[in-house]
Structure 1
Amino acid sequence: MLEAKHSALIEEAARRGHANLAQLRLCFQVLSLSSAIDRDCATRLAPHGLSEGRFIVLFLLHGAGGTLSPHELAERAGVTRATISGLLDGLQHESLLQRKHDAEDGRRLQIVLTARGRRLAEDLFNQHTQWIGGLFNGLDTTEQAQLAQLLMKVWQHTDRGREATP
């Protein structure tokens, strides 16, 4: 299940007599799984002309009732304003959303899903969540809970996890 680059790194670590080969293998298994999921996601979204970023914008707008400001979208998506502008340009070009001036403050923009954007967001959200749920069909509920707990333990040893832990 390892990607070639990860196998090469493990082989080099073994050649050098690295003591933590088992931990390296586990990390690379997680990274390889993540990459496989990302590629599958891209493959599923591509026929709709969407990247994961564009899908997330549609999903966020749909979940907010179809309207958010660019600032709110960037914040909720965890991206910069420049990135959100590029995503919005592409989605507007595909007639999936519109930029409208705020009724109360004409200087502010609101991003609004079009009817086509709402339908696509709803259809893809349902398909996407079913696909993601299916990734874990081989695990019973106890195993899923164990996996979640184990991943949290590993996350706590990342820089970000240490920053988030009081």
Structure 2
Amino acid sequence: MRRDDGHNDELSLKLFVILSRAYRSISDVVTEDMKRYGLNPSEFMVLELLYHKGEQPIQHIGKKILLASGSTTYVIDKLESKKLLARRQCQEDRRVVFASITAKGRELMDEIFPQHRAVIQMLFEGVSEDQKMTLIELLKETGLRAANLKK
């Protein structure tokens, strides 16, 4: 049986607060883990993307990891100065520049990513596989609904 809208509104507000607090707590732990390796979260996410997905057009990196284009350029510059990634001009379209992880960057990620994965695993240790699948489905559905409200 469905309760009145007032109760449903209260549950929605409570869910929002709990989700926000949980995200903040999880994000804080993951951010601290990334900093242990001498990388800020944006640098880590760019390296992780290149490590797992290979060479990417710089113009697409920001969209994939939710960075503004100006921030993306700054992060790419920093990683390039650390010799963790390299730029390559596209031969077919001179407007396109690719970023790829260097051998030094791959070596770093080979070392640190298993530790990072373990931290994330620890965060969700008490959640069963079925619960994880349910959370993934519910959060994806909610995120898509929110994205459609922006249009």
Q: Same fold (TM over 0.5)?
A: yes
Structure label with greater radius of gyration: 1
Q: TM-score, normalised by structure 1?
A: 0.69
Residue 36 of structure 1 aligns with an amino acid whose one-letter code is S
Match for residue 113 of structure 1 among 101, 120, 124 = 101
Residue 147 of structure 2 aligns with an amino acid whose one-letter code is R
Q: TM-score, normalised by structure 2?
A: 0.75
State the match for 1:52 in structure 2: 41
Q: What's the RMSD between the two structures over aligned residues?
A: 2.9
Q: Is the 8 A contact 2:83 2:104 kept in 1?
A: yes
State the match for 2:72 in structure 1: 84
Cα distance change of structure 1 residues 86 and 154 upon mapping to structure 2, 3 Å threshold: same
Secondary structure at the counterpart of residue 79 of structure 2? helix
Ranked by relative contact order (alpha carbons within 8 Å, sequence separation 6 or more), the top structure is 2
Aligned pairs for 1:150-165 (under 5 A) are 150-152=138-140, 154-155=142-143, 158-160=145-147
Residue 40 of structure 2 aligns with an amino acid whose one-letter code is S
Match for residue 127 of structure 2 among 139, 143, 147 = 139
Aligned length: 145
Q: Is the 8 A contact 1:74 1:81 kept in 2?
A: yes
State the match for 1:25 in structure 2: 14
Aligned equivalents of 1:45, 1:144: Cα separation in 2: 23
Q: 5+ residue gaps in structure 1?
A: 1-17
Q: Is the 8 A contact 1:55 1:121 kept in 2?
A: no
Q: 5+ residue gaps in structure 2?
A: 1-5
Cα distance change of structure 1 residues 139 and 77 upon mapping to structure 2, 3 Å threshold: closer
